[in-house]
Amino acid sequence: MKEESKENLVCGLCAITSVFAFLLVWYLGCTFTALGKLLPDPITVLIGMWGYIVGTVGKCSLLMHALHSLQRVLIGFLIGSALGISLGLLMGRYRLARAIFNPIFRVIRPIPPIAWIPISIIWFGLGETPKIFLIALAAFANTTLNAMTGAESVDKTVINAAKMLGANEFQIFTTVVIPSAVPSIFAGLQVGISCAWASVVAAEMVKASNGLGWIIQAGMDNNNMTQIISGIIMIGLGGFILTYIMRTIEGVACRWNRSGR
């Protein structure tokens, strides 16, 4: 136990040091080299960001923009991953479902979300719907396969155990196949949430009046480097926080599973 907390302390110190070292290199680069012409130094950026947080960029504060993006991601992610997981579980357990959906899915999956932007605008116009559609698509594409693998690789004797205890097919699916696929499902959710978060930026950069993607796009239009970098930093932080939350949920949901972190 003591050994472990010591290790955590060392890791924490390393993390802090590396962030400061990065900022320092950035600062020195901007002050003493030509980098300064391309990039504002970190102090300028941080002061600018603080201004955006307490003040406004465009219509609202930087944090509100982040929340707008987050809202789109959460709605899209919930829809996309619910569909993806359901389809994946069915394909993993039932050969017929796989025969029907797998070919279509295999072709749709490699198409990157950006490629759907024109179609989504033609279909859904310029409001919230096309953005949520893109995010849902990203979540869907990344959760289906893992759910399928999870449902497929359920230990056969564990299923036999449920059968001999009297479970019917529906009960086997809900009480055995789904829970034993949970670690695998979370592996997909982990990638899914990152991709969904990445897609919101793409979706907002096309046409939006708020959100982190809009901040970057508007920063480019006004040639405001500080605004662009503030947006980028928020995207990085947001993605980091989302995956962190996801991993915490996974830890609780998979505490029965040694391999689940």
Partner 1 sequence: MEQERKMKAGIECINAGKVFVTPEGEHEVVRNLSFATKENEFLVLFGPGQCGKTTIINMIAGFEDVTSGRILADGKKVEKPEPSRGVVFQNIALFPWMTTMGNVEYGLKIRGVKKEQRRAEAQKYIDLVGLSGFENSFPVQLSGGMKQRVGIARAYCNEPEVMLMDEPFGALDAQTRYLMQEELQRIWSAEKRTVIFVTNNIEEALYLADRIIVLTNCPATIKKEYVIDLPRPRNLVSEEFLALRREITGILDSSQED
CB of 1 to partner 1, least distance (A): 18
* Secondary structure of residue 57 in the 3-state scheme: strand
- Nearest distance, CB of residue 153 and partner 1, angstroms: 13
**Cα-only R_g, the chain:** 23
Binding site for partner 1 (CB under 8 A): 155, 157-158, 160-167, 171, 175-176, 179-180, 182, 255-258
CB nearer partner 1, residue 69 or residue 184: 184
Q: Which is nearer to partner 1, 163 or 207 (CB)?
A: 163
Q: Is 211 left (phi over 0), alpha (psi -120 to 50) or beta?
A: left
Provide the minimum distance between the beta carbon of 180 and partner 1 in the complex, in angstroms, as a whole number: 7
Which residue's CB is nearer to partner 1, number 64 or number 159?
A: 159
Q: What is the DSSP code string of 72-113? A: HHHHHHHHHHHHHHHHHHHHHH-HHHHHHHHHHHHHHTTS-G
Say how far residue 191 (Cα) sits from the centre of its chain: 6
- What is the nearest approach in angstroms of partner 1 to the Cβ of residue 257? 7
The token pair that represents 8 in the structure block = 């955590």
User: In angstroms, what is the minimal distance from the CB of 244 to partner 1?
Assistant: 24
Of residues 37 and 258, the one with the C-beta less far from partner 1: 258
Identity of the residue, 18 or 160, whose beta carbon is nearer to partner 1 in the bound complex: 160
| Residue 226 tokens, joined | 């500080």
Cβ(216)–Cβ(62) below 8 Å? no
Question: For 255, phi and psi rounded to 5 degrees?
Answer: -70, -15
